[in-house]
């Protein structure tokens, strides 16, 4: 019997892998030094641990260790990247390009930049969740400083054509930033091969601790320069002042090391479980998959995510009828908002369709029994609510 409630909300956060926690614990107690304390062994031990984590995290994305700074998470990394580029390169232009279906941390940062005098183009997406590359190319002007496109969507799992976007940005001489929070550790990511200039990611999405994240900043061909978001102390090459979260960073590095070793087998296992879940739920009358592309490549979506619409039923009502399932109706960052998903609206769904959609995101510790039970719970809840005429 699976442990209840069954956790299928891994895009919101993942449980910390026990192997990650094991390496973190000593840095709260006997190895508690400040990594900036350069005059004694406690500081040296902490600094060595941070250096190792930087190697582990940068290796996962194909970067050099000196191209990665540690942050408190992806939101800080995104803010540092977008605001940093705008402030640094403002003499050259004031135009940024992003996508209507981005995470709120990107959209809200872009709105801040607009208030500061910037101009932002929000590219639309098709019904499959993908941007049109021709529209991207046409949107780039001589004033464009940066293009920010999410690697994989947090609500639908849709993967954008990152390599092609990188090629367009390189051709046009524009910096390419990607919020790769949901992709890193789940699918192969290589900043060099994909032409990425800035990349944001977070530990707690890949079985690491909350409160630790990273920002990749390309150092050559071309070198990306940023003005810091935080001042005071000059930590992280002056780009992120503040005492380093050594235990969190250690855990982040270990989580990245494990992901590099297990990514392929995790993806194979999860895609099989995800497909089983999808097949069963889509057999329920009045259901549909959001972000599907019958003619798309196999890697069009993350291997562990399904966003399914249950026509005629409100998602929050359906979730309340399934207390033994931990799932969501969209981004955890907007779960308190009464508004329908902006991602699904951008894909052309009506407000009613968006409100009737639920996200199932599997994880490393999901097993077949969890999926079998989830299918049964969901079927019963849908049938009961429709029988009762609930809307």
Q: Are 245 and 211 in contact (CB under 8 A)?
A: yes
Q: Measure the CA–CA gap between 72 and 83, rounded to whole angstroms.
A: 16
SS3 184: strand
SS3 70: strand
- DSSP line for 124-162: ---TTSPPPHHHHHHH--TTEEEEE--SB-TTT-BBP-H
The reply to whether 333 belongs to the active site is yes
CA 196 to each of CA 68, 147, 177, 219: distance values in angstroms, whole numbers, following the listed order: 13, 10, 6, 11
Q: Are 329 and 307 in contact (CB under 8 A)?
A: no
Q: Which residues are CB-contacts of 189 (< 8 A; sequence separation ≥ 6)?
A: 60, 61, 62, 151, 180, 183, 199
Q: Measure the CA–CA gap between 252 and 181, rounded to whole angstroms.
A: 13
User: One of 110, 169, 256, 333 is an active-site residue; which one?
Assistant: 333
By annotation, the residues acting in catalysis are 333
């Amino acid at each position: 019997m699976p442990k209840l409630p069954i956790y299928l909300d891994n895009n919101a956060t993942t449980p910390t892998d026990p192997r990650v926690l094991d390496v973190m614990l000593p840095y709260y107690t006997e190895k508690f030094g400040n990594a900036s304390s350069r005059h004694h062994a406690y500081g040296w031990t902490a600094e060595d641990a941070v250096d190792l984590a930087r190697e582990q995290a940068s290796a996962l994305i194909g970067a050099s260790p000196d191209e990665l700074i540690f942050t408190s998470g992806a939101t800080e990394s995104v803010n540092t990247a977008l605001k940093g580029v705008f402030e640094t390169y403002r003499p050259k232009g004031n135009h940024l390009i992003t996508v209507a279906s981005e995470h709120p941390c990107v959209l809200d940062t872009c709105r801040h930049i607009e208030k500061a005098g910037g101009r932002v183009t929000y590219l639309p997406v098709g019904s499959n969740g993908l941007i049109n590359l021709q529209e991207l190319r046409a949107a780039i002007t001589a004033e464009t400083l940066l293009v920010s496109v999410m690697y994989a969507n947090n609500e639908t799992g849709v993967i954008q054509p990152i390599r092609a976007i990188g090629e367009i940005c390189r051709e046009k001489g524009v910096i390419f930033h990607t919020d790769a929070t949901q992709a890193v550790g789940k699918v192969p990511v290589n900043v060099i091969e994909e032409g990425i200039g800035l990349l944001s990611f977070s530990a707690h999405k890949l079985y690491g601790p909350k409160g630790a994240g990273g920002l990749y900043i390309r150092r050559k061909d071309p070198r990306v320069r940023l003005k810091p978001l935080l001042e005071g102390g000059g930590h992280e090459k002056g780009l992120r002042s503040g005492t380093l979260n050594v235990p969190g960073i250690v855990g982040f590095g270990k989580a990245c090391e494990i992901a590099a070793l297990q990514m392929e087998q995790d993806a194979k296992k999860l895609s099989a479980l995800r497909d089983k879940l999808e097949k069963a739920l889509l057999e329920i009358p009045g259901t549909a998959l959001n972000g599907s592309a019958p003619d798309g490549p196999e890697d069009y979506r993350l291997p562990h995510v399904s966003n399914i619409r249950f026509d005629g039923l409100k998602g929050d009502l359906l979730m309340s009828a399934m207390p033994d399932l931990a799932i969501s109706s969209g981004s955890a960052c907007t779960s308190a908002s009464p508004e329908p998903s902006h991602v699904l609206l951008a894909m052309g769904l009506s407000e009613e369709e968006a409100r009737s959609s639920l996200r199932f995101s599997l994880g490393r510790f999901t097993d077949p029994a969890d999926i079998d039970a989830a299918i049964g719970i969901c079927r019963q809840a849908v049938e009961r609510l429709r029988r009762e005429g609930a809307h």
